[in-house]
Amino acid sequence: GAVVSQHPSRVICKSGTSVKIECRSLDFQATTMFWYRQFPKQSLMLMATSNEGSKATYEQGVEKDKFLINHASLTLSTLTVTSAHPEDSSFYICSASEGAGTVPRRVYTEAFFGQGTRLTVV
């Protein structure tokens, strides 16, 4: 199947600093990628939809100024957690589908997930 690579896999940062997480589709192009947050023993909560060449679409309750998303190319989306606080500590995971970005557009396609990033803010 398609490969989505996420980097870094683990990061520890100090309160007040910013952290950037990268999500890359390695063997396909994706005009749309998704960012999720997962707390321990909980589900994947969709944070935002990353759109190549345009602004991200954020889910209700997610602060767009806190979680900056940039989708500068068809294979790369980045999530920057700005002014991180301990409550931002979590597992962040991205996904992308091959269908998004293909011509003609394929509508039923599997979402492939990155390996996730465990963020710890101290």
Partner 1 sequence: GENVEQHPSTLSVQEGDSAVIKCTYSDSASNYFPWYKQELGKRPQLIIDIRSNVGEKKDQRIAVTLNKTAKHFSLHITETQPEDSAVYFCAASRSGTYKYIFGTGTRLKVLA
Residue numbers at the binding site for partner 1 (CB under 8 A): 1, 32, 34, 36, 41-46, 49, 60, 93, 95, 97, 99-100, 105, 107-111, 113-116
> In angstroms, rounded to a whole number, what is the distance separating the alpha carbons of residues 72 and 31?
10
Minimum CB distance to partner 1 smaller for 46 or for 76:
46
Minimum CB distance to partner 1 smaller for 1 or for 14:
1
Ramachandran class of 66: left when φ > 0, alpha when ψ lies in -120 to 50, beta otherwise:
alpha
- Residue 16 CB, shortest distance to partner 1, in Å, is 27
Q: Which tokens sit at 79?
A: 């999530």
- Residue 20 CB, shortest distance to partner 1, in Å, is 19
Minimum CB distance to partner 1 smaller for 9 or for 15:
9
- Residue 83 CB, shortest distance to partner 1, in Å, is 27
Q: Which long-range contacts (CB under 8 A, 24 or more apart) does 83-86 make?
A: 83/16, 83/17, 83/18, 84/13, 84/14, 84/15, 84/16, 84/17, 84/18, 84/19, 84/119, 84/121, 85/15, 85/16, 85/121, 86/15, 86/121, 86/122
- Residue 46 CB, shortest distance to partner 1, in Å, is 7
Minimum CB distance to partner 1 smaller for 76 or for 82:
76
